[in-house]
Chains A and B, each alone.
Chain A
């Protein structure tokens, strides 16, 4: 899902994406409320939210870049830097923590070659982070790979799961 932005900023809110955003305008009394949806659209298109994207969202919704940046950094799911092609979130909060989640997190870091939580593997394929409660505590350990929610992950299952993400 992720593409890394290295060149100059290319406009996201044009054509179909702009139409999708504009279709949401009547659902809210002001444009500022479109900020979270707009940021999701940017991240879906570009993989992360760059300075250029912040400026574009600000311009589109009539906000300032500083304001948009303040909101982006509040929410943990918006990436403020490029991440691997596949972004893995592993839950290690207490209920999963008492059922072996930390071992799963270690196995994910090792098998992906990321070296550390939050780092991207040298081949650009994966980034692994620990997250707080994914809300599937009865099925430890839940992980999110991109948009795929996977439950009951154990250390043994890690290699086979990763093989599905090229």
Chain B
């Protein structure tokens, strides 16, 4: 449902069916709603059969990268005799994204069930759910749900009497966007600074504590029980445009729409319908100016690009951006794209772990140049300088944080040039006034 709004006829509520329903949150309420049936089924399946089912469903990573989930699981070694780990990424911090927190707050047992099934598939006894420190309410709800799952024999040494051990530990972050990057997250769980690691080795080979590890997003894992229950074929059919984008996707919409919230759509729903029908369109008297469709790290779209864009991985790429996390920022004609870009650059400058020079310097200088421009002190050469910086921030660093800072700046300059020009062509006050 479009939490906090009622279900819209154009939505496909699978994950969000019970958002806003307090009775669904505790263990008993979740079981009444069909909870843990999928886990019981998975406990009777061979690990590779679970992976094959998820592979056939077409489920792709919902955290931003869109990597096929079953394929990722299949990279995990089999009879290697080492402990394996699952990390659930609940470090939701990408500006514009507030979908995972609704799963954490309303249906924590859906996530626990998804984690447990994934653990069976990748042969991991232990899962760490890494939740961002600022999510105080979701943290307490999730921790209580995990405690309930242990008390009811879902988790522990003998999950549902199967003789299999399934452990889940909630690990709280302490304020660092970069810990949402999978290798930084592993360092953070290990009690280190959250610096991303150089790949290879990839986590499936040497991840958490040096052992084979899979990292999945909250929404990805929460989708797994429904796939096990209703089958891969059912899930794969949920697709309105590209066959490579299947299932449902939570889209958190914010900014200048009439009904911001978290909506669940079938992959491929036209973006225009999402913005105008589900979210009620722009505020009265205002028109659409720009959309950042997938969290702040993706290029900005123009209304022309939105016009015929299906909301799925391929559709948004074809229209100049990316689906990313599904965190959609909608902006109307009151918006100054330079101000938006400045705030985003400040975000990335603040969140850079600073181990790569291009990122540490690039993000900070991008923010400073944009601030200078907004203060009326910009120079014509600044646009070239920003693009030059962006060039040096793309594909040059250990992780993609600096690429993410460059994306809105480059697309902003390319697609919304008049906003930048307006700040450059200002009549400046005289520096000296005879006093």
Residues of A within 8 A of B (CB): 27-30, 32-37, 39-40, 61, 63, 70-71, 74-78, 89, 92-95, 97-99, 131-140, 144, 147-149
Contact = CB atoms under 8 A, between A and B. Distances in A.
A77 B92 CA distance: 16
A153 to B, nearest CB: 15
9 A-B pairs with least C-beta separation: A35-B191, A77-B175, A138-B260, A75-B174, A76-B175, A137-B254, A32-B191, A74-B193, A94-B343
Nearest to B260: A138
A24 B174 CA distance: 18
B256 interface: yes
A138 B189 contact: no
B431 interface: no
In the complex, which range does the number of interface residues on chain B fall in? 35 or more
B108 interface: no
19 contacts: A27-B126, A30-B190, A32-B190, A32-B191, A34-B191, A61-B191, A75-B174, A77-B133, A94-B329, A94-B344, A98-B340, A132-B350, A135-B97, A135-B135, A137-B255, A137-B260, A138-B253, A138-B254, A139-B260
B338 to A, nearest CB: 12
Contact of B340 (A61, A97, A147, A148): A97
Contact of A135 (B134, B167, B331): B134
B99 to A, nearest CB: 9
Contacts of B96: 94-95, 137
Interface of B: 83, 92-98, 101, 126, 132-137, 167, 169, 171-177, 188-194, 209, 252-256, 260-262, 296, 327, 329, 331, 335, 339-340, 343-344, 346-347, 350-351, 353
B348 to A, nearest CB: 9
A34 B171 CA distance: 10
Given A74-B194, A78-B174, A133-B347, A98 B256 contact: yes
B190 A33 contact: yes
A115 B188 CA distance: 34
A39 B174 contact: yes
